[in-house]
């Protein structure tokens, strides 16, 4: 069967595709940063508790207070790219979501359980004694599972050839396990979360220290070590990921392949700088380099998507039926929302909620 026959007809779009592409890239960057902090700090707190057995650790108590905030940010910053990716790639993404619908819909329930556990971990931290690691392991396992389901869906949408699997499995439990890039891609995402979690810890204590408060010794260094070591490991995983990608995606004679190579190079250089800056504890400079590396990696990931889908579709195929007012309203609401979040954070810092 010709897999192209399984691809639904694309909807029209109201403005030029580039608007949606830029919005997708920017909002996905926000999602990835928040998600990385959420997943990474939770893993670091879990590892610390497993190592310290039942002793309360002030680092973990500090992290416990922050995780629910970052779940909220990760989820809310996830909604926007979900909308934009559906506008540009809905006919691929809806299909893959339906093929794995049982798992895909379970994310909502899983997320609610994880959210509840992180609040429980925060509110009952002192009473939990030897059960801290056990309680925290629930959201950590859930985050890792959700990440895996996301990697499955966002690769399944790229390979319509595998969609024929539906005719043998119509339970909504089709995963993309035969895809060679799946595991390296997923590991690359999760190890980067550990790195960014470490960096977030270092940045947080650096911020507190610059405000003139005492911080426990070695916290900034600890965060930087987590960052640099995890990023170093991610270089190896990154090369395995690169190896696993189809040759057509990496073909620099095509526009997408060239874009892929340039953004990958930018990511490798800035990622390399960030490791060095982390090892010498230049926290803020390290954060700038890491943010730049994540930005380049988000672009690289976009080029990978374009390369995979090239035989079937490019965004320039989408037909524009001009209608500008929804976009103008979106920008007004988006700017208002960002201002509102900034204002809430300012208030929270003033009353010491976020310390």
Give the interface with ligand HEM as residue ranges (CB under 6 A).
24, 28, 31, 35, 39, 71, 74-75, 78-79, 81-82, 85, 111, 143, 146-147, 150-151, 154, 185, 189
- Min CB(128)–ligand HEM separation in Å: 22
- Min CB(324)–ligand HEM separation in Å: 24
* Cα–Cα distance measured from residue 196 to residue 35, given in angstroms and rounded to the nearest whole number: 9
- Min CB(36)–ligand HEM separation in Å: 9
Closest CA to 291 of 277, 304, 306, 305: 277
Cβ-closest position to ligand HEM: 78
- Min CB(54)–ligand HEM separation in Å: 28
CA distances from 97 to 114, 201, 340 (A): 22, 35, 32
Q: Which residue lies nearer to ligand HEM by CB, 120 or 150?
A: 150
* Cα–Cα distance measured from residue 170 to residue 317, given in angstroms and rounded to the nearest whole number: 30
Q: Which residue lies nearer to ligand HEM by CB, 157 or 224?
A: 157
Q: Which residue lies nearer to ligand HEM by CB, 222 or 304?
A: 304
Q: Which residue lies nearer to ligand HEM by CB, 111 or 306?
A: 111
Residues listed for the chain: 355
Q: Is the CB of residue 263 less than 8 Å from the CB of residue 304?
A: no
- Min CB(88)–ligand HEM separation in Å: 9
Q: What SS3 state is found at 13?
A: strand
Closest CA to 45 of 36, 35, 58: 58
Q: Which residue lies nearer to ligand HEM by CB, 186 or 205?
A: 186
Question: What φ, ψ does residue 7 adopt, rounded to 5°?
Answer: -85, 125
């Amino acid at each position: 069967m010709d897999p192209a026959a399984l691809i639904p007809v694309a909807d029209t779009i109201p403005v030029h595709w580039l608007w949606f592409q830029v919005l997708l890239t920017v909002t996905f960057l926000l999602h990835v940063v928040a998600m990385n902090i959420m997943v990474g700090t939770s893993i670091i707190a879990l590892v610390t508790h497993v190592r310290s057995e039942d002793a309360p650790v002030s680092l973990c108590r500090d992290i416990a207070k922050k995780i629910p905030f970052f779940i909220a940010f990760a989820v809310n910053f996830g909604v926007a790219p979900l909308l934009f990716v559906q506008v540009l790639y809905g006919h691929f993404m809806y299909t893959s979501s339906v093929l794995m619908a049982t798992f895909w819909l379970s994310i909502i329930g899983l997320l609610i359980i994880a959210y509840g556990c992180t609040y429980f971990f925060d509110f009952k931290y002192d009473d939990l004694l030897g059960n801290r690691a056990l309680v925290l392991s629930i959201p950590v396992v859930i985050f890792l599972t959700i990440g895996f389901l996301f990697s499955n869906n966002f690769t399944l949408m790229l390979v319509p050839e595998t969609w024929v699997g539906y005719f043998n499995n119509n339970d909504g439990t089709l995963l993309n396990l035969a895809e060679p890039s799946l595991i390296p891609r997923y590991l690359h995402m999760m190890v980067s979360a550990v790195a960014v979690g470490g960096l977030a810890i270092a940045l947080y204590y650096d911020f507190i220290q610059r405000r003139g408060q005492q911080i426990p010794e070695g916290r900034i260094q600890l965060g930087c070590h987590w960052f640099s070591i995890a990023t170093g490991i991610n270089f190896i995983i990154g090369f395995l990921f690169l190896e696993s990608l189809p040759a057509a995606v990496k073909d620099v004679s095509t526009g997408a392949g060239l874009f892929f190579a340039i953004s990958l190079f930018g990511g490798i250089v800035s990622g390399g700088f960030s490791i060095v800056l982390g090892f010498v504890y230049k926290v803020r400079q390290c954060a700038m380099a890491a943010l730049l590396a994540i930005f380049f990696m988000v672009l690289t990931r976009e080029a990978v998507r374009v390369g995979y889908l090239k035989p079937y579709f490019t965004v320039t195929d989408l037909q524009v039926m001009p209608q500008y007012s929804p976009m103008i309203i979106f920008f007004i609401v988006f700017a208002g929302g960002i201002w509102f979040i900034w204002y809430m954070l300012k208030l929270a810092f003033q009353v010491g909620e976020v310390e």
